[in-house]
Structures are given as structure tokens and as C-alpha cells.
Amino acid sequence: MDVKIDPSWKNRLHDEFTKPYFEHLIGFVKKEYSEGRVYPPGKQIFNAFDRCTFENCKVVIIGQDPYHGPGQANGLCFSVNDGIPKPPSLLNIFKEIQDDLGKPIPVSGNLERWADQGVLLLNATLTVRAGQAGSHQGKGWETFTDAVIEKISDEKKGVVFMLWGRYAQEKGRVIHAENHLVLTSKHPSPMAAASGGWFGNKHFSKTNDYLIKRGLTPIEW
């Protein structure tokens, strides 16, 4: 199956693209796009991979599924397009960065600038039906993104994995923690953050400290 994704990922994930589950998944996704409104736009389904190549990947942030409101999703977890109001979880992420690194909250919630620096902003499910959160879960995307995480864990060393909330932490079970930096905390959603464990996690400074120690360029958060 010819999947339009950055060659660095296409070469490494070739076996996944030939498996029966992936063929069924693509058939389902194509049908959904043909029959109704689905996010993100079709050309941005693999945006996370196109903006962050396998070679450049040095940080992985795991989300659940794309935003399901008009104009929000752009194929990167937690990210919204320019001009779109910041969702509560993203605003809490920016507040933690402000507290941790002293950086002002940016005008735009578009995180493409992170991806371009080597941050893979990976949703577990890469598509969603408009207005129906979780509507494409359990169709095969989770199997695919598990394979992505495992591939990074197996073939790279010194990657920072940010696992926010129980779902992301379960997703990270395939990571070889001895070869990477795995940071865990509560999810940045208002309900989870309010109970403690999100604010003050200092994941962004910890990530940059780790990258610097490995001789890599820190992320401009």
C-alpha cells in the first residue's frame, strides 16, 4: 500500500503498511472522509511525521486523538491552527512552560515550530469524525502508533518521551526506559491538572537539560 508519509518513516514502517489491520484501517478512513467531515484534513493525517523525520526525532509527546472542532486539528497532538483559540489543555501546557522556563504564553497554539525542531507530536489515533471525540478509536490507529513508538524505542537512543496521563503512560509500555528519558505526570487537562501533578512537573527544562547533556540542541519551547 502506497502511504504518503515522509520517506524516513515510510522505509521503517513498511511492514506495518502491508499488514491486514492497516489495509482495513485505511479502507475505514477513506470511507469516513468520503461520507462526512473528518479531521484533520486528509493531507495532514501524517503531518506529525512529515514535520519531524525519524532522524531528527529527539522528543515524543503522546496525545489521544485529534481535536474534533472546526479548523482546530492540524495533525499534531495538542496543536491548533493559527488564529484558533487555545484549548484548555494546551493553555495549561503553555502555563507550565511559562512557570518552568519563564517564557511568555505565545499568541498562536500552532506547535509546528516544535515539530520542526524534532518533537514528534503523536496522537494515538490520527483521525476523528467532526464533533465526535474518540469516534475513530479501536479501528487500528492504536496498533500503528504503538509500532511507531516501539520503532523509535528500538532503533534510537536518548529520546525524551513525555507521557502525560494514564492513557499516554499505558501507550509507553513498549519503551525501553533504560535507553531513553521517560517523563510522566498528570494530564494537562483542567480536571486532571486541578488535582495536582501537572503544574510544576518541569518536563520542559528537564528535557532541555537532558538534550544538552547529550550534546544536542535544546528545544525552543
Rg (CA), the chain: 17
Q: Which three cell numbers stand for residue 15?
A: 511492514
Q: 135: closest CA among 30, 29, 43, 16? A: 29
Catalytic residue numbers read 65
Answer for the pair 124, 112: CB distance below 8 angstroms, yes or no. Answer: no
What's the rounded Cα separation, in Å, for the pair 122 and 152?
Answer: 12
Q: Can you give the pLDDT at residue 2? A: 75
Q: What is the pLDDT along the chain (221 residues), one digit of tens a residue?
A: 578 899 999 999 999 999 999 999 999 999 999 999 999 999 999 999 999 999 999 999 999 999 999 999 999 999 999 999 999 999 999 999 999 999 999 999 999 999 999 999 999 999 999 999 999 999 999 999 999 999 999 999 999 999 999 999 999 999 999 999 999 999 999 988 888 899 999 999 999 999 999 999 999 99
Peptide bond into 88 cis (omega under 30): no
Phi and psi (nearest 5°) for 61?
A: -115, 130
Full-model pTM: 0.96
The pLDDT of residue 58 is 98
